Chain A
């Protein structure tokens, strides 16, 4: 019994130590090309936002995410919107993004594999990942003003990046 408890403790300790690492995720971008999440975060921090056209709070948040992309583009931040629309509205996603003129990267995940892998529980689901792939911030839902918190978190990760350089 003691062995079992010790073993369970070791496994749990190992898992908790790794809790913030984002898994490898393949991405199909809205322009039809493919990439891996790893290739994006190796170039700088990434704010990942899971959204869908049917999710009204998600759409409210997006104009602010676009502003954040403009503000921190030169500092290496990538905003990655992963769209989770299924076949019912998948055809409208590119049209929506292009007409809105959003400048951030959009990926399509109609099977919601990436969302499931990260066990999102409420939409929009937002994650901030540093350039080593560690998740430094998670956020569920959106209410007005959340964009200011995202801004603060981004500033924090960029300043720690500058200090380390």
Chain B
């Protein structure tokens, strides 16, 4: 029997992060070469104090502006906690999850301006050792960022949803030996801004169609968890019933059309994992199947229009590898939490004390694809197509298939005290809107013209890291990464005889666009708990906005000037130097000078574009005491 006793001693801890940066931000719009000033001041202080069963946590933020997200000056988060063996009560800003988070996952990452924490109360009662009951009630107004696009300022939060949550969870621990079962229900009442941003004829961006739409959903679900000696199993299933109030249709000014919504939207999601780890082998298989919303492309590609989307508190496992390698992190698979089915398999193999291997494979697709049909009788609209099985992914381009192979080799060469880490990844994905247009032809009786367009991205990445522990006590780390990114534009034009369904003629136009190549190199020398100094080099063969970077010597920083005068071609190259000083083992002072490329930053499947900063001076202090 578990007995948790709480000491009556007091404790206090604090964590400080202070960031300052000043530089420039290049425009990410096609053909625009302007640079704007980019300054951020972002300071947070977390304080926790407790005595006996009570504790208080507070978070102060002084940001004006932060690197990404809204300004804040003063107390931002506060939570009071009272805990005993049988009861715990949290009031204030709440974090946590039910099961693996399909229905309730409260988390925050300020680096991508994501916050699904609730302001409210979370009560956990444990009437017996085997039973626990969680009651959660609160409100969140975390923000959302629109995908990168014309007129979108990626540093600014585009909109917030006002979401009120009531949730209940019963968990039976060790119902049978090593078997736990949980049942939950989550009620979400949300107020959703419905709008679109478009470029104004007079410059800048204007927001149109601005109304608020209320939605309410109820999501019951269950999870089962089992631990064996060499294996474990996890299964979670949830269902969501969503009701859209106040509207049956809304008029879209930019699309010049009425957008119709079903008043009721039913969806479901499931996640399962199996891990098996006999001896030096570890195998994990994961399966995800999320099918909550099957909106057509006019709605799906515009987040505020997608009223059938999941509430921000619902964030299940992604079931694909989220990479920590620099270039791979910038080109992630962006999953559709509302409509995606897939698997992930990972194998860990400890060949010897010095050699460790990792293999990972992931594949997924959407459940639904769409055809834009134009029949001779006048019907013009989207026709939905579903995969052959809703339980499995498809290879058909219509369903946005994604697949990735990843391998990692870790070797410790003892004579030199050298750690070698070699990685290789290959992924392919349909990244841009797939359109299948079917026109019934008036000039050719009983024939249709079918047009298919899609853009596929192939990525090959080779990251390598060498870490050498020098006899002097210093550590030397060299990291370099190569990445090749190819885009294939495919266009098919097919004439089909409707009487026989045979294809009469096919025109295929395959265009391989200019491939991109990226390189990233970082060198770092460190003395443990004293200091570190490093150099960063980042290169892109081309920029997707079409405007080469760092071509104008007038915009050079002193570092770039030195390099340019040494004969280095600075086009599309970013350089930086950084130094860190350990003021105490838990207080680090870091200075960076140079330029950093921007890119997508993801956490748990949530991706936000964080802009790069050029010719910048940044200072970061992190401390724990």
Assembled-state Cα–Cα distance A26/B3 (Å): 10
Assembled-state Cα–Cα distance A117/B132 (Å): 22
CB pair B324 A34 closer than 8 Å: no
Taking CB as reference atom, which chain B residue is nearest A92?
B284
Assembled-state Cα–Cα distance A43/B349 (Å): 34
Neighbouring B residues of A87 by C-beta, 8 Å: 97, 100-101, 105, 315-317, 604
Assembled-state Cα–Cα distance A55/B603 (Å): 13
CB pair B318 A88 closer than 8 Å: yes
Assembled-state Cα–Cα distance A98/B474 (Å): 31
Assembled-state Cα–Cα distance A95/B231 (Å): 8
CB pair B178 A138 closer than 8 Å: no
Known: A32-B227, A149-B528. A119 touches B475 (CB 8 A): no
Assembled-state Cα–Cα distance A88/B276 (Å): 18
CB pair A122 B275 closer than 8 Å: no
Interface residues of A in 107-159 (CB under 8 A from B): 110-113, 116-122, 125, 133, 137-141, 143-146, 148-149
Neighbouring B residues of A10 by C-beta, 8 Å: none
| 0/1 string, B313-325, CB within 8 A of A gives 1 | 0011110001010
CB pair A116 B57 closer than 8 Å: yes
Known: A87-B315, A119-B624. A145 touches B475 (CB 8 A): yes
Interface residues of B in 294-342 (CB under 8 A from A): 315-318, 322, 324
Assembled-state Cα–Cα distance A140/B324 (Å): 19
Assembled-state Cα–Cα distance A22/B356 (Å): 35
Sorted nearest first, the 6 A-B pairs with minimum C-beta distance are: A144-B475, A119-B15, A99-B282, A95-B282, A145-B528, A98-B277
The contact of B13 among A100, A111, A119, by CB within 8 Å, is: A119
Q: Looking at chain A's contact residues, is the secondary structure mostly helix, strand, loop, or mixed?
A: mixed
B374 at interface by CB-CB < 8 Å? no
- A–B pairs, 27, beta carbons within 8 Å: A18-B12, A24-B6, A32-B178, A36-B4, A86-B604, A87-B100, A87-B105, A94-B232, A95-B276, A95-B277, A95-B283, A96-B282, A100-B348, A116-B46, A121-B16, A121-B624, A125-B586, A138-B584, A138-B624, A143-B477, A143-B528, A143-B532, A144-B419, A144-B468, A145-B475, A145-B528, A149-B585
The contact of A91 among B13, B286, B526, B529, by CB within 8 Å, is: B286
CB pair B4 A31 closer than 8 Å: no
CB pair A21 B107 closer than 8 Å: no
Taking CB as reference atom, which chain A residue is nearest B271?
A87
Assembled-state Cα–Cα distance A148/B532 (Å): 17
The contact of B46 among A35, A119, A138, by CB within 8 Å, is: A119
Interface residues of A in 65-97 (CB under 8 A from B): 86-92, 94-96
- The interface centre, meaning the residue of B13, B532, B623 with most chain A CB atoms within 10 A of its CB, is B13
Known: A35-B2, A94-B232, A125-B624. A23 touches B11 (CB 8 A): yes
CB pair B95 A112 closer than 8 Å: yes
Q: Looking at chain B's contact residues, is the secondary structure mostly helix, strand, loop, or mixed?
A: strand
B133 at interface by CB-CB < 8 Å? no
Neighbouring A residues of B588 by C-beta, 8 Å: 122, 140-141
The contact of B15 among A21, A56, A121, A137, by CB within 8 Å, is: A121
The contact of A144 among B12, B286, B526, by CB within 8 Å, is: B526
CB pair B605 A88 closer than 8 Å: yes
CB pair A117 B48 closer than 8 Å: yes
Neighbouring B residues of A140 by C-beta, 8 Å: 585-588, 622, 624
**B360 → chain A closest CB, angstroms:** 9
CB pair A92 B17 closer than 8 Å: no
How many residues of chain B have a CB within 8 Å of chain A?
A: 83
Assembled-state Cα–Cα distance A22/B16 (Å): 18
CB pair A88 B15 closer than 8 Å: no
Neighbouring A residues of B27 by C-beta, 8 Å: none
CB pair A38 B5 closer than 8 Å: yes
CB pair A100 B96 closer than 8 Å: no
CB pair A118 B623 closer than 8 Å: no
CB pair B277 A99 closer than 8 Å: yes
Interface residues of B, Cβ cutoff 8 Å to A: 2, 4-7, 9-17, 46-50, 55, 57, 83, 95-97, 100-101, 105, 107, 178, 180, 227, 230, 232, 234, 273, 275-277, 279-284, 286, 315-318, 322, 324, 346, 348-350, 356, 412, 419, 465, 467-469, 473-475, 477, 526-529, 532, 584-588, 604-605, 622-625
**A92 → chain B closest CB, angstroms:** 5
Taking CB as reference atom, which chain A residue is nearest B83?
A24
CB pair A121 B7 closer than 8 Å: no
Known: A113-B96, A145-B475, A145-B527. A56 touches B324 (CB 8 A): yes
**A45 → chain B closest CB, angstroms:** 17
CB pair B48 A99 closer than 8 Å: no
Neighbouring A residues of B50 by C-beta, 8 Å: 23
**A108 → chain B closest CB, angstroms:** 11
CB pair B55 A119 closer than 8 Å: no
A15 at interface by CB-CB < 8 Å? yes
- The interface centre, meaning the residue of A19, A34, A121 with most chain B CB atoms within 10 A of its CB, is A121
Neighbouring B residues of A16 by C-beta, 8 Å: 12
Neighbouring A residues of B473 by C-beta, 8 Å: 145, 148
- The interface centre, meaning the residue of A60, A92, A94 with most chain B CB atoms within 10 A of its CB, is A92
Taking CB as reference atom, which chain A residue is nearest B419?
A60
The contact of A116 among B95, B178, B318, by CB within 8 Å, is: B95
Known: A111-B97, A148-B528. A94 touches B277 (CB 8 A): yes
CB pair A36 B5 closer than 8 Å: yes
CB pair A145 B474 closer than 8 Å: yes
Known: A113-B96, A121-B15. A146 touches B528 (CB 8 A): yes
Neighbouring B residues of A118 by C-beta, 8 Å: 13, 15, 48, 624
CB pair A55 B324 closer than 8 Å: yes
Neighbouring B residues of A18 by C-beta, 8 Å: 9-12
Neighbouring A residues of B55 by C-beta, 8 Å: 23, 117
Assembled-state Cα–Cα distance A139/B10 (Å): 22
Assembled-state Cα–Cα distance A58/B37 (Å): 36
CB pair B10 A138 closer than 8 Å: no
Neighbouring B residues of A120 by C-beta, 8 Å: 15, 624
Taking CB as reference atom, which chain A residue is nearest B605?
A88
Taking CB as reference atom, which chain B residue is nearest A59?
B410
**A7 → chain B closest CB, angstroms:** 16
CB pair B275 A92 closer than 8 Å: yes
Taking CB as reference atom, which chain B residue is nearest A53?
B324
Assembled-state Cα–Cα distance A16/B2 (Å): 32
**A43 → chain B closest CB, angstroms:** 15
